[in-house]
Amino acid sequence: MVLTLEKIKTPPKVSDIAYKALKERLLELDMSQLSDEGRLDERVLAKGLGVSRTPLREAINRLVVEGFLKVVPRKGIYVVRKSKQDVIEILLVRAALEGMAARLAAQYVTKTDIKKMKAVFSRFDPLNMDGKYAEYADANIEFHEFILKTSRCGKLIEMANSIFDHMRWIRFRAVAFEGRIKPIHQEHLKIINALEKKDPDLAERRIRSHIEGLAQYIEKEVDFLE
């Protein structure tokens, strides 16, 4: 008699659970509300997560490597604040990665994929988009992540998702981008059009121009980050 058995799943390490919980909280953090220069109390973190110091420190070390936290000797753990230059550099890296993703996506994209991309923005009326930056920002992330997924390149998706985490973490004042929402919307539609044509050169060129344009806008027009 042969028994059909399921493999025993190895339970996640406590440090992995702490890392995930702490990172999720950081991604939701309003940088403008940080006090004491963004210093975090290790004892408070351990108590809040219900874990000991050892797995917490493993989680913190991972977040230090990823650029979300920094450890200052004899002072403590601090949340890393992104400068304008940091944001611009992140966007330039995104432009390169997503340009390649769009090129690959143009080979694999289906009619169903195009419908889904168009549906992401279907609720936005170009004639009445004032005050909808926060809502549009969520659609923007959904759209860019969909392109990455459509590229079918695992390593590219992994690298780009790391960059996306930093972009989610950055908090801009919505008013600083109200003047860009309509041009951004038109750029998204042009990217979809290039993918629908299955033109890899055009798709790559348009998405790179789209992201690099945002970097230029931040460099010239945005004087503060939250």
pLDDT of residue 148: 96
Statement: 84-221 belongs to CATH 1.20.120.530: yes
Instruction: Return the higher-pLDDT residue of 202 and 173.
Output: 202
Residues 171 and 162: their CA atoms lie apart, in Å, by: 17
pLDDT of residue 129: 80
For 73-89, the pLDDT digits (tens) are 988 999 988 888 988 99
Nearest 10 degrees: Cα torsion 151, 156, 160, 162? 140
Helix H, strand E, coil C: the string for 152-178 is CCHHHHHHHHHHHHHHHHCCCCHHHHH
pLDDT of residue 102: 98
Residue of 186, 218, 194 lying closest to 85 (CA atoms): 218
For 124-175, the pLDDT digits (tens) are 988 878 778 778 888 988 999 999 999 999 999 999 988 888 877 775 554 5
CATH of 14-79 given 1.10.10.10, 3.30.565.10, 2.60.120.260, 2.130.10.10: 1.10.10.10
Average per-residue pLDDT for the chain: 87
Range(s) within the chain of domains with CATH label 1.20.120.530: 84-221
Identify whether the C-beta of residue 225 lies closer than 8 Å to the C-beta of residue 172.
yes
Range(s) within the chain of domains with CATH label 1.10.10.10: 14-79
